[in-house]
Chain A
Amino acid sequence: MSEIVIYTVVILVSLGAVAAVILFWVSRRFKVEEDPRLERVLEALPSTNCGGCGMPGCSAFAGALLTAQDLSELYCPVGGNEVMKEVAEILGKEVTERDPFVAVVRCSGSFEHRKQTSVYEGAESCTVAAELYGGDHACAYGCLGLGECVEACDFEAMYMDERTGLPVIIEDKCTACNACVTTCPKDILELWPVGRKHQRIYVACKNEEKSGVARKECAIACTGCAKCFDECKKDAITIENNLAIIDYEKCSLCSKCVVVCESGVLHADNVPETQLVKLAAAREKRIAKEKEKKRLEKEAALAEAKADK
């Protein structure tokens, strides 16, 4: 009996010893030399694998970071400046800070603002619908409302507003990874700098029709009337194809354009209502003043003419 036990123990122990020797040798022989910094960089990255950096995933990005001469072309929008700084420290390279961005919805065509003209039936995909036609409503430029962008978002930073039929971006969760921007077949979504005090002013419309047509298609459509263009002192607004476009690099967020827009397509995110009211009041006062001035001038001219007679 005891013999069996002894044999078993001896055989098992020697087997284990042989296996251990083989394993040790193999691990030495086939060791892959890996840059130890790679693991640290990977740890620093948010490991969301969202592709916002333009690479297939975080490990590909880490590899690119390691081999790149300078990091100015590489940026992780999810981690932002903090993570990039950390990465730069690990790698001992320079990093350029970037302004944080956030996605904005450039369409105001909610259910109440634009008329439905047909019923779409098919795969719940904006791309499929866009391949078929301009959409189930009159405006061919606007949001199709099938929520492909929401599906594309890895960060749960978007949802479809059932009341309006338009996507809504939750600013705190948006990482500006660009996924929704590239997926939207109508290019409704754009990345915009988060801005001072989280304020952004943009044209929430992409309609390039002439004013009459555009207005017929949607109650809130940019008609290209150029009032905002006239108002802007920073040359941040241009009118192209009957559509106002704001250059965010030039915009000073004065919000004066928002007040003059009659169609209401100029969105001022996080600009307090009071400020807009104040601006509107100031504008009204100014217009009244100008009117008064003109009237006075006219009267003066008339009086002068009378006096001349």
Chain B
Amino acid sequence: MSLRASTELKHFHKGGVHPHEEKLSADSSIEVLPPPKMVTVSVAQHIGAPPEIIVERGQAVKAGEVIAEHKGFVSANIHSPVSGRIGKIDPVMDSSGYKHMAIAIRSKGDDWLEGIDRTDALITEITASSEEIVEKVLSAGIVGQGGAAFPSHVKLSPPKDKPVDTLIVNGVECEPYLTADHRIMVEKPRELIVGTQILMKALGVNRAIIGIENNKRDAIELLTELTKDLDGISVEALRVQYPQGGERQLIEALLGREVPSAGLPHDVGAVVHNVGTTYSIYLAVQKNQPLVERVVTVTGKDVEKPSNFMVRVGTPVAEVIAAAGGVPTGTGKVINGGPMMGKAINDLQVPITKATSGLLLIPEEESHRSEVYNCVRCGKCIEACPMGLEPYRLMLLSKGKNHDKAKEEHIMDCLQCGSCSFICPSNRPILDYIRLGRSKLKKVSQ
């Protein structure tokens, strides 16, 4: 790719903010953590119907064995991340802040199910047909690893009347601090490209764009070099701007198409898959590996050793943090995910899920919100909103319980990216109240 000035780089055009990048762990290579003694695998790891548990207490399982089977189309299988014996099956607190059914497994050795290839050998030839690919993605329990955890096979089966022409591989990672996708692109570029080709085959498209923000130069250069002789796959450097990793924003930035208000990416002929997901799909299709481990960034200003770990799903958060040097004294907040959209957790025993992209430890003095002042009508929230909403107004409407009006003002289109709350000079909890309004409207529609 040509070295263009950063002003010429593609980017999304509506709203956006620029939080400090703070990619502390960008240069730490992925470290594989050994299977923990005990994992707790929650069944609530994806959007959609929870899967049905098919194992019993005391039963022996191998790593990679299905322990919960998907129910319905928008659902995903869950596999045992370790080999060992099933323990309690009870509701357990997970990172959602609520209890969900979870299967505890006491691990013993690391014995994988027959047919799963755990070697590092690269397999470039794609023998599976497109139906077989979708089938494998479904049985491997793959979900979007960017944060929303939407079952991936659903995205690979767009409706027939919506022709898809472009696959977008999302390597934006616009959340500050997080580097999991970055490390995958740098360390597993060939696997990622095969994964991209698999997705192209499954979708029947001959164009794929890997979108990467310009703060990951090494990944951009490496992938550009590796894809230069490949038909259809291109790498696009994007100007750093939050929330570019949002599906809608990324499609607009790369293709100039806007996904309609209540629509989905396939309405404008695009399908977006995250880099981590694409890598998992490579492992699933070429190596028969189900999704039982993922890259998790452990980071924070006071963290001894900001790292990227390959972690088995179900590992307690505390153990992963311990591998990075433990919880620093004076930590006030632990966030599952990045600082803009991540969720604060109140218990360090919650398990890592398929959607845990990072653990961010924030020092006590930065954990609290600042004093709230009057709205000075500066309009910064409006200029920052990537969806073209008027956040200050939605906040007032929700606060005033005028939920129907808020709905007319498209409160349900909000991505909850947090740009409005981030930018507000008066520290007003804008997004909190937008969430309140959305929650009330959801309650009514139920």
* Contact surface of A with B, Cβ cutoff 8 Å: 117-118, 121-123, 125, 127-128, 130-134, 136, 140, 185, 209
Contact = CB atoms under 8 A, between A and B. Distances in A.
Contacts of A125: 432-433, 436
B147 to A, nearest CB: 16
Contacts of A131: 435, 439
23 contacts: A118-B346, A121-B369, A122-B369, A122-B429, A122-B432, A123-B429, A123-B433, A123-B436, A127-B435, A127-B439, A127-B440, A128-B432, A128-B435, A128-B436, A128-B439, A131-B435, A133-B343, A133-B346, A134-B97, A134-B98, A136-B346, A140-B98, A140-B99
Given A121-B369, A122-B369, A136-B346, A127 B436 contact: yes
Given A121-B369, A122-B369, A140-B99, A132 B343 contact: yes
Contact of A117 (B91, B347, B440): B347
B4 interface: no
B160 interface: no
Contacts, number: 46
B118 interface: no
B20 interface: no
Tell which of A117, A122, A123, A133 has the most Cβ of chain B within 10 Å: A123
B261 interface: no
A128 B421 CA distance: 15
Interface of B: 91, 93, 96-99, 343-344, 346-347, 368-369, 429, 432-433, 435-436, 439-440
B439 A185 contact: yes
Contacts of B436: 123, 125, 127-128
A293 B333 CA distance: 61
Contacts of A123: 429, 432-433, 436
Contacts of A130: 439
A133 B432 contact: no
Contacts of A121: 368-369
Contacts of A122: 369, 429, 432
Q: Considering the complex of A and B, which 10 residue pairs feature the smallest CB-CB distances, nearest first?
A: A133-B97, A123-B432, A118-B346, A123-B429, A127-B439, A128-B432, A127-B436, A128-B436, A134-B98, A122-B432
A133 B336 CA distance: 13
A209 B347 CA distance: 18
Given A121-B368, A130-B439, 16 more contacts: A117-B347, A118-B347, A121-B369, A122-B369, A122-B432, A125-B436, A127-B436, A128-B432, A128-B433, A128-B436, A133-B96, A134-B93, A136-B346, A140-B93, A140-B98, A209-B91
B435 A134 contact: no
Contacts of B93: 134, 140
Nearest to A209: B91
Nearest to A133: B97
Contacts of B344: 132
B432 A134 contact: no
A77 to B, nearest CB: 19
Nearest to B437: A127
A218 to B, nearest CB: 14
A49 B352 CA distance: 49
Chain B interface secondary structure, helix, strand, loop or mixed? mixed
Nearest to A137: B346
Contacts of B369: 121-122
A136 B347 CA distance: 11
A122 B344 CA distance: 12
A132 B98 CA distance: 9
A80 B254 CA distance: 62
A23 to B, nearest CB: 37
A132 B432 CA distance: 10
B248 to A, nearest CB: 22
Tell which of A118, A125, A130, A209 has the most Cβ of chain B within 10 Å: A125
A36 to B, nearest CB: 32
B384 to A, nearest CB: 19
A128 B368 CA distance: 17
Contacts of A127: 435-436, 439-440
A127 B439 CA distance: 7
B394 to A, nearest CB: 13
B98 A133 contact: yes
A217 B48 CA distance: 29
A229 B435 CA distance: 41
B433 A117 contact: no
B181 to A, nearest CB: 25
A5 B99 CA distance: 89
B97 A132 contact: yes
Contacts of A117: 346-347
A136 B345 CA distance: 11
A128 B343 CA distance: 13
B88 to A, nearest CB: 11
A157 to B, nearest CB: 18
A218 B347 CA distance: 17
A121 B343 CA distance: 13
Nearest to A183: B440
A211 to B, nearest CB: 13
A125 B432 CA distance: 9
Contacts of A118: 346-347
A136 B432 CA distance: 17
B308 to A, nearest CB: 27
A123 B98 CA distance: 19
A182 to B, nearest CB: 8
Tell which of B96, B99, B346 has the most Cβ of chain A within 10 Å: B346
Contacts of A134: 93, 97-99
A134 B98 CA distance: 5
A118 B439 CA distance: 23
Nearest to A118: B346
A117 to B, nearest CB: 6
A138 to B, nearest CB: 9
A117 B334 CA distance: 14
Nearest to A126: B436
A209 B101 CA distance: 12
